[in-house]
Amino acid sequence: MGGNRGIDVRESLADPRGSVWILDGATGTELERRGIRADLPLWSARALLECPDRVEEIHAEYVAAGADLLTANTFRTQARCLSRAGLAGRAAELTARAVALARRAAGDRALVLGSAPPLEDCFRPDRVPGDETLAQEHAAHAANLAACGVDAILVETMNTAREAVAATRAARDAGVPAIASFTCNPRGRLLSGEPLDRALESVVREGAIAVGVNCVPTSGIAACLGALAGCGTPFLVSPNQGEPREGEPGRHLEECTPSAFAALADSWRRSGARILGGCCGTTPAHIRALAERLAR
């Protein structure tokens, strides 16, 4: 879209004639691809401490590539994750740092989303905490993001409807629009086994302005499109490049070229997607190819 500051993402998505929004690509795997340490438990948040300039550099490259929406590097700035590295008291500080880096890179050309991922492992629904813990900790993270002035909160990579509802509700209660996105298995069901269509309905009831799937390989998107297109809410598609290759940081098992990625994304646009971007393994080159394809 370009020149997005001052545009309300909620109003734009509500208009069925509105433009497609281009979401950025990966941050964590992009740090790894550039030889920057991003190991657990901090994952991409380590760069906020050790090389914040490189995080801003990656954001700026996505904006230059054509991204309308930047995802701040808050994927692992919740107190729960930071506590494993002895940094629990720095959740608000590091969240603010991540949002400021994205905001500087965005300028007046892109909006900034705050990332709100699962409190535990994105691929382990059995580790999702109890409801009270979900409510408290997602509320704390949403409050930190709201205090930084993010344009929306991207509730992403959710593997259970229960946690997605808690995070979406937390964003709503903090006064920030929420986009709720799930990760699914090859059959198009949540990793918990729940049907995607029911999970989408559950977050829409909590006020999500858009829904979607992310961190699903490109080969798995087709199984999700029916539920997404039938949910009656603007939807997002942000696939990954498959499982990481053992011993090859930044490389993945289902990699596709930027041009192939852009062609697939264009087919998802024709299926009704209103937000298109990339997850693990995608790069600024993928987003540039997507932007150029949509411009044509």
How many angstroms separate the CA atoms of 75 and 246, rounded?
23
DSSP letter for each residue of 204-226: HHTT-SEEEEEEEEGGGSHHHHH
H-helix or E-strand spanning residue 252: none
**Inside any domain, residue 7:** no
**Inside any domain, residue 59:** yes
**Inside any domain, residue 4:** no
CATH of the domain at 21: 3.20.20.330
Number of domains in the chain: 1
- Are the C-beta atoms of residues 151 and 179 closer than 8 Å to each other? no
- Are the C-beta atoms of residues 7 and 1 closer than 8 Å to each other? yes
How many angstroms separate the CA atoms of 226 and 173, rounded?
30
Digit-coded pLDDT (tens) for 257-267: 999 999 999 99
DSSP letter for each residue of 9-31: HHHHHH-TTPPPEEB---SHHHH
**Structure tokens, 75:** 């994927």
**Inside any domain, residue 130:** yes
Q: What range does the domain containing 22 cover?
A: 17-295
Q: Which of 36, 29, 111 is nearest to 71 (CA)?
A: 111
How many angstroms separate the CA atoms of 116 and 72, rounded?
10
pLDDT number for residue 262: 97
User: What does DSSP assign to residue 189?
Assistant: B
Residues 6+ apart with CB under 8 A from 20: 269, 273, 274, 275, 276, 294
Strand order in the sheet with 210-217: 21-22, 275-276, 235-240, 210-217, 178-182, 152-158, 111-116, 69-71
Residues in the chain: 296
**Inside any domain, residue 27:** yes
H-helix or E-strand spanning residue 111: strand 111-116
Q: Which of 180, 222, 220 is nearest to 201 (CA)?
A: 180
**Residue 107 main-chain phi, psi, to 5 deg:** 55, -135
pLDDT number for residue 119: 97
How many angstroms separate the CA atoms of 95 and 62, rounded?
20
How many angstroms separate the CA atoms of 188 and 32, rounded?
29
- Strands 69-71 and 210-217 turn out to be unpaired
Q: What angle do CA 131, 136, 142 make, to 5 degrees?
A: 120
Q: How far is CA 51 from the centre of its chain?
A: 21
How many angstroms separate the CA atoms of 109 and 92, rounded?
26
pLDDT number for residue 238: 98
How many angstroms separate the CA atoms of 69 and 110, rounded?
5
pLDDT number for residue 2: 46
**Inside any domain, residue 5:** no
**Inside any domain, residue 55:** yes
**Inside any domain, residue 12:** no
Q: What is the mean pLDDT of each run of 10 residues along the chain (296 residues)?
A: 61 80 96 90 94 98 98 97 94 98 97 97 96 98 98 98 98 98 97 98 97 97 97 96 68 82 97 97 98 93
Q: What angle do CA 137, 37, 23 make, to 5 degrees?
A: 60
